[in-house]
Amino acid sequence: MTEQVISTLRDGVLRIQFNRPEKKNALTAAMYETIAGIMEGAQSDDKVRVLLFTGTDECFTAGNDIADFLGAPQLTADSPVSHFLAILASAEKPMVAAVRGDAVGVGTTMLLHFDLVYAGTSARFWLPFVNLALVPEAGSTLLLPLLAGYQKAAELMLLAEPFGPEEASEMGLVNKVVKDADVESFAMEKAMALAAKPPVALRRTRALLKAARGILPDIMEAEGEAFAEGLKSEEAQEAMLAFMERREADFSKF
Ligand code: COA
């Protein structure tokens, strides 16, 4: 079977690729566990200086697998996605992303924890949590307003319309927009530049840059509770079934 998460280490850069293109790299529980395990291993491996995340040619990730949500609507602190989010938020080593195509849901919110984000011209970001009768996660309800300002964050999270790489760049989510064909090599070049720097100073600088986010764990806990409640709701079941059945959701009865 094709590996759905591929990791390779070269010159201090651990490249982690979402590789499930037939499902737009939607992340299953098994994929979250794999990624979390890789990230945990990276934390204690001195050979790993930087993590570089990428998707496939046409997609970063369509976010959480909706069939998984429908099949197992229980979310706890022990769930694979919670495990992944906790490691993402506490990761000490620099993280770089190369985004092409859709980055939906956690595909966008995870980027708020990255240090450098490079987007191809095809990149499209989207926070459709409310459309799915859920709430945004990964600390994004704190981090996006900090980055983009309250009104911009509210627009993106409440209206929940997709936005392109230029808009993402203007709000500071993306460092640079480059041609799709060049985005991964560009991101790798920057990751290698980071990998050559003194690692302890880099990690300390990163921790200081993030120090003002002190209430992040509390916010993530509150998001997790609201997300778990949402997931069990009839609204969410309708929204997700509608996606799987390729029809418009009908919220008129709620
Ligand atoms: N979970 C499960 N399956 C997904 C998925 C997801 N998040 N995103 C895409 N897929 C599947 C589709 O069901 C389809 O499978 P099929 O070929 O067996 O029918 C396949 O991936 C291709 O997706 P498709 O919708 O045909 O691609 P598209 O290019 O028209 O649209 C997206 C791409 C990302 C806009 C669209 O797939 C989408 O909206 N996905 C859901 C995103 C989402 O809500 N994520 C959760 C956020 S919390």
| Residues 6 or more apart in contact with residue 30 via CB below 8 angstroms | 4, 80
Write down the pLDDT at residue 72.
77
pTM of the model: 0.98
Whether 99 maps to a domain, the answer reads yes
| Residues 6 or more apart in contact with residue 203 via CB below 8 angstroms | 92, 93, 94
**Residue whose entry in the numeric block shows the structure tokens 């993530």:** 220
Task: Look at strands 13-18 and 5-10 and give their pairing.
Answer: antiparallel
Contacts for 183-188: CB closer than 8 Å, 24+ residues apart: 183/98, 183/99, 183/100, 183/118, 183/119, 183/120, 184/54, 184/98, 184/100, 186/98, 186/118, 187/52, 187/54, 187/96, 187/97, 187/98, 187/116, 187/118, 188/13, 188/15, 188/52, 188/98
Whether 208 maps to a domain, the answer reads no
Range with the poorest average pLDDT among 24-38, 70-84, 88-102, 190-204: 70-84
The H or E element that residue 217 is part of is helix 216-232
3-state secondary structure of 86: helix
Number of structural domains in the chain: 1
How many Å lie between the centroid of ligand 1 and the Cα of residue 23?
Answer: 6
Write down the pLDDT at residue 200.
97
- For every residue of 124-178, DSSP letters joined together read EEE-TTGGGT----TTHHHHHHHHH-HHHHHIIIII---B-HHHHHHTTS-SEEE
Domain that holds residue 118: 5-183
Whether 239 maps to a domain, the answer reads no
Write down the pLDDT at residue 213.
94
How many Å lie between the centroid of ligand 1 and the Cα of residue 97?
Answer: 21
The answer, yes or no, to whether any atom of ligand 1 lies below 6 A from the CB of 101, is: no
- For every residue of 120-135, DSSP letters joined together read ETT-EEE-TTGGGT--
Whether 36 maps to a domain, the answer reads yes
Test site for ligand 1: of 23, 24, 110, most ligand atoms within 8 A of the Cβ: 24
The answer, yes or no, to whether any atom of ligand 1 lies below 6 A from the CB of 62, is: yes
The answer, yes or no, to whether any atom of ligand 1 lies below 6 A from the CB of 102, is: yes
- Which residue, among 209, 55, 87, has the nearest Cα to 143 in the 3D structure? 209
Write down the pLDDT at residue 74.
83
pLDDT exceeding 90 applies to what percent of the chain?
95
Q: At what angle do helices 234-244 and 216-232 cross, to 10 degrees?
A: 80
Reported in sequence order, the residue ranges of 66-105 that DSSP labels E, i.e. its strands, are 95-99, 102-104
| Cα dihedral sign, 49-106-104-115 | negative
Helices and strands, counts by H and E, the chain: 11, 9
Q: Tell me the average pLDDT across 109-118.
A: 98
Q: Say if residue 8's pLDDT is above 80.
A: yes
Provide the mean pLDDT of the chain. Answer: 97
Whether 215 maps to a domain, the answer reads no
Whether 74 maps to a domain, the answer reads yes
Could you tell me which residues are beta bridge partners of residue 8?
Answer: 15
Q: Say if residue 228's pLDDT is above 80.
A: yes
Q: Whose CA is nearest to atom 10 of ligand 1?
A: 23
Write down the pLDDT at residue 93.
98
Q: How confident is the model at residue 2 (pLDDT cuts 50, 70, 90)?
A: confident
CATH number at residue 123: 3.90.226.10
Write down the pLDDT at residue 99.
99
- Which residue, among 70, 181, 90, 177, has the nearest Cα to 134 in the 3D structure? 70
Q: What is the pLDDT of residues 169-227, one digit of tens each?
A: 999 999 999 999 999 999 999 999 999 999 999 999 999 999 999 999 999 999 999 99
Q: What is the pLDDT of residues 150-182, one digit of tens each?
A: 999 999 999 999 999 999 999 999 999 999 999
**Residue whose entry in the numeric block shows the structure tokens 């921790």:** 207
| Residues 6 or more apart in contact with residue 249 via CB below 8 angstroms | 131, 238, 239, 242, 243
Q: What is the pLDDT of residues 40-84, one digit of tens each?
A: 999 999 999 999 999 999 999 999 999 999 887 688 989 999 999
How many Å lie between the centroid of ligand 1 and the Cα of residue 59?
Answer: 11
How many Å lie between the centroid of ligand 1 and the Cα of residue 107?
Answer: 12
Q: Whose CA is nearest to atom 8 of ligand 1?
A: 62
Whether 245 maps to a domain, the answer reads no
Whether 209 maps to a domain, the answer reads no
